[in-house]
Homo-oligomer: A and B are copies of this chain.
Amino acid sequence: MGYNVAIVGATGVVGQELITLLEQRKFPVDKIKLLASARSAGKTMEFGQQTVEIEEATTEAFAGIDIAFFAAGGSISAALAPAAVEHGAVVIDNTSNFRLEPDVPLVIPEVNSDDLTWHKGIIANPNCSTIIMAVVLAPIYQAAGLKRVVTSTYQAVSGAGAAAMTELDQQVREYLDGTQPTAQVLPVASLPRHYQIAFNLIPQIDVFEDGGYTKEEWKMIKETRKIFHLPELPITATTVRVPVFRCHSLSLNIETEKKLTVSEARELLSTYPGISVIDEPASQSYPMPSVLSGTDDVYVGRIREDDSVACGLNLWVVADQIRKGAALNSVQIGEELIRRGLV
Which residues in A have some Cβ–Cβ distance to B below 8 Å? 148-150, 152, 154, 168, 172-173, 175-176, 187, 191-193, 195-196, 199-204, 208, 211-213, 234-236, 238, 240, 242-245, 249, 251, 253, 262, 279, 281-284, 286-290, 301-309, 312, 314, 316, 318
Which of B172, B187, B212, B286 interacts with A302 by CB under 8 Å? B212
Q: How many copies altogether?
A: 2
Q: Provided the pairs A191-B284, A262-B212, A301-B203 are in contact, do residues A154 and B308 lie with their beta carbons within 8 angstroms?
A: no
Decide if B200 touches A244 in the complex (CB within 8 Å): yes
Decide if A306 touches B242 in the complex (CB within 8 Å): no
Residues of B contacting A287 in the complex (Cβ-Cβ under 8 angstroms): 203
Decide if A154 touches B238 in the complex (CB within 8 Å): no
Majority DSSP secondary structure for residues of A touching B: mixed
Residues of B contacting A148 in the complex (Cβ-Cβ under 8 angstroms): 308-309
CA distance A235 to B118 in the complex (A): 43
Give the Cβ gap from A232 to chain B, nearest Cβ, in Å.
10
Residues of B contacting A262 in the complex (Cβ-Cβ under 8 angstroms): 212
Residues of B contacting A235 in the complex (Cβ-Cβ under 8 angstroms): 308
Q: Provided the pairs A176-B173, A212-B281, A236-B308 are in contact, do residues A203 and B302 lie with their beta carbons within 8 angstroms?
A: yes
Decide if B176 touches A238 in the complex (CB within 8 Å): no
CA distance A62 to B82 in the complex (A): 80
CA distance A309 to B149 in the complex (A): 10
CA distance A185 to B77 in the complex (A): 47
Interface centre among A200, A201, A284, A304 (most CB of B within 10 A): A201
Which of B203, B301, B303, B314 interacts with A286 by CB under 8 Å? B203
CA distance A284 to B241 in the complex (A): 14
Decide if B249 touches A149 in the complex (CB within 8 Å): no
**Closest residue to A157 on the B side, CB-wise?**
B199
**Closest residue to A213 on the B side, CB-wise?**
B304
Decide if B253 touches A204 in the complex (CB within 8 Å): no
Residues of B contacting A303 in the complex (Cβ-Cβ under 8 angstroms): 212
CA distance A253 to B238 in the complex (A): 9
Decide if B187 touches A308 in the complex (CB within 8 Å): no
Q: List 29 A-B contacts (CB under 8 A).
A: A148-B308, A149-B308, A150-B308, A152-B251, A152-B253, A154-B240, A172-B176, A195-B288, A195-B290, A199-B289, A199-B290, A200-B289, A201-B289, A203-B288, A203-B302, A203-B316, A204-B286, A208-B281, A208-B282, A211-B304, A211-B305, A212-B262, A212-B302, A234-B308, A236-B307, A236-B312, A240-B316, A243-B244, A251-B251
